[in-house]
Amino acid sequence: MAGAQIITGHVLCFTASPFEVPAAESARIEEAVLVRDGSVADVGTLDSLRQAAPEAEIHRFDKHLISPGFVDAHVHYPQTAIIASWGKRLLDWLEQYTFPEEMKFQDPDYARQIAVRYFDLTLANGTTTVASFCTSHPASVEAFFAEAQARGLRAVAGKTCMDCGAPKGLCDTAQSAYDDSKALIERWHGADRLSYAITPRFSPTSTPEQLEALGALWAAHPDCLMQTHLSEQKEEILKVVSLFPEARDYLDTYEAHGLLGARGLYGHAIHLEPRERARLAEVGASVIHCPTSNTFIGSGLFDLTARVADGIPVGLATDTGGGSSFSMLRTMAAAYEIAQLTGTALHPAQLWWLATAGSARALHMSDKIGTVAPGMEADLVAIELASTPGIAQRNARAENIWEAVFPTIMMGDDRAVKAVWVGGDKVLKLNAKGNG
Ligand code: GUN
Ligand code: ZN
């Protein structure tokens, strides 16, 4: 582990949710952050931190935004190689592109190769924590966790469980899904910075028996997260209605089997009924907004402002590879554009908060990641706010920090990510200017 370090720049310190206080008042900008033993020791002026830690190595990222690493609350790392596959809506996209690719993960070597590629890509984009679906093969979970562990990452994943509605080579059973998931929990949940999410893919690919078995597994391991999909596309909802005629609505297919709870993460959740919204809010379950996916596969417009008003915690995610980007900057831009279409201009602070603290809250990790404050784990990124000529010329006109950040939100990509620290260790340095 690196010794004490001081990083200078515009250190972004959220002190409240910008959905709960006036957005511009939700964060302070500090001059520097002191990192020690993998955690944030303090924030403040460079002089004060130097006095506190004269031995610290200094990394100057002046004019850069020093932010918590991005937290991507819903991804499918096995879909890395099929991102940007053309021309299909959800159910056909799954059949044509996703299931054949996921079949390849029965080969542990292929799973390892894609896990390495996936983390290379996400770290280059400044993402330091993801919650990933794997495939139905336990080896795909092993590959993901082993790679995340080797890189010191805080990460969440689970074996995707499916016992119907998918090709035979991808299907497990109610019993094997239970047994394999349980063995993976015992092996990985709580190991270093890793945690397990029980992962039924979605109701169309699980029998009631499998949902029941996974509900029982969650009850036996209540500190695990549970991740799945909910009400992403209209055709999918019709399918759920026909497969589960007794259910009151889509959410009820989970609720009836013990798969609704505060530690539940429900991806997409675009087309919700009033009862579903009320229940999600009541239990404190999180919905995960995946804006590039929602436009790319034609799912619909998630009404973020309405869900926040409902009192439902919302996380933000790429949904790689239904989503069309590995970048949480690009994802913030898409969230902004969708919100515009639903009648709201999201403030840059709200977008950035969703990509960091908001997603960390959805993952129940707010006490560890997602903000820069003493005691938090030192997963940090240095973001250049003038990373391309187009961004630079707009940034030069900015009159305050959020106006300076917004062009990078709308036009930025991995070129803006100049350094990434994982648990206090610097893992990436791309063309940083004047840094040792
Ligand atoms: N619903 C069920 N599986 C998937 C998936 O892999 N991607 C997306 N976007 N939606 C899903
Ligand atoms: Zn998904």
Q: How many domains is the chain partitioned into structurally?
A: 2
Q: Of 82, 83, 90, whose CA–CA distance to 298 is shortest?
A: 90
Last residue of a domain, one of 324, 342, 362: 362
Q: How many residues does the chain have?
A: 436
**Residue 336 in domain:** yes
Confidence at residue 1, expressed as pLDDT on a 0 to 100 scale: 75
Tell me which residue range forms the domain holding 31: 5-68+370-427
Which one of 83, 98, 293 would you pick to mutate in the ligand 1 pocket, going by the greatest count of ligand atoms within 8 A of its CB? 98
Q: Do strands 27-36 and 5-14 pair parallel, antiparallel, or not at all (unpaired)? A: antiparallel
Q: Provide, rounded to the nearest whole percent, the portion of the chain with pLDDT above 70.
A: 98
User: Do 145 and 25 share a structural domain?
Assistant: no
User: Do 381 and 356 share a structural domain?
Assistant: no
**Contacts for 53 with CB less than 8 Å, ≥ 6 apart:** 4, 6, 34, 36, 41
Confidence at residue 94, expressed as pLDDT on a 0 to 100 scale: 98
**Residue 432 in domain:** no
Q: In the chain, count H helices and then E strands.
A: 17, 16
- What is the C-alpha separation between 32 and 11, in angstroms, rounded? 6
**Residue 329 in domain:** yes
User: Do 64 and 78 share a structural domain?
Assistant: no
**pTM, 2 dp:** 0.98
**Residue 436 in domain:** no
Whichever domain contains 148, its CATH number is: 3.20.20.140
Which one of 76, 105, 268 would you pick to mutate in the ligand 1 pocket, going by the greatest count of ligand atoms within 8 A of its CB? 76
| 314-329 pLDDT per residue, tens | 999 999 999 999 999 9
Q: How confident is the model at residue 370 (pLDDT cuts 50, 70, 90)?
A: very high
Q: What is the mean pLDDT of the chain?
A: 97
Distance 428 CA to ligand 2 centre (A): 28
User: Do 377 and 307 share a structural domain?
Assistant: no
Q: How confident is the model at residue 429 (pLDDT cuts 50, 70, 90)?
A: low
Q: Could you count the other beta carbons within 10 Å of the beta carbon of residue 337?
A: 15
Q: Quote ipTM for the complex.
A: 0.99
pLDDT at residue 436 is higher than 60: no
| 61-73 pLDDT per residue, tens | 999 999 999 999 9
Whichever domain contains 51, its CATH number is: 2.30.40.10
User: Do 298 and 182 share a structural domain?
Assistant: yes
Q: For ligand 1, is residue 319 a contact (CB within 6 Å)?
A: yes
User: Do 100 and 90 share a structural domain?
Assistant: yes
User: Do 178 and 80 share a structural domain?
Assistant: yes
- What is the C-alpha separation between 16 and 25, in angstroms, rounded? 8
Point out the ligand 1 atom lying closest to the alpha carbon of residue 98: 6
Q: List beta partners, residue 381.
A: 67, 420
C-alpha pair distances (Å), 406 with each of 14, 122, 127, 346: 16, 21, 18, 11
User: Do 315 and 197 share a structural domain?
Assistant: yes
Specify the DSSP element, H or E, that contains 46. helix 46-52
User: Do 99 and 56 share a structural domain?
Assistant: no
Confidence at residue 428, expressed as pLDDT on a 0 to 100 scale: 82
pLDDT at residue 354 is higher than 90: yes
Last residue of a domain, one of 362, 381, 400: 362
| 159-190 pLDDT per residue, tens | 999 999 999 999 999 999 999 999 999 999 99
Last residue of a domain, one of 362, 382, 410: 362
Distance 308 CA to ligand 2 centre (A): 21
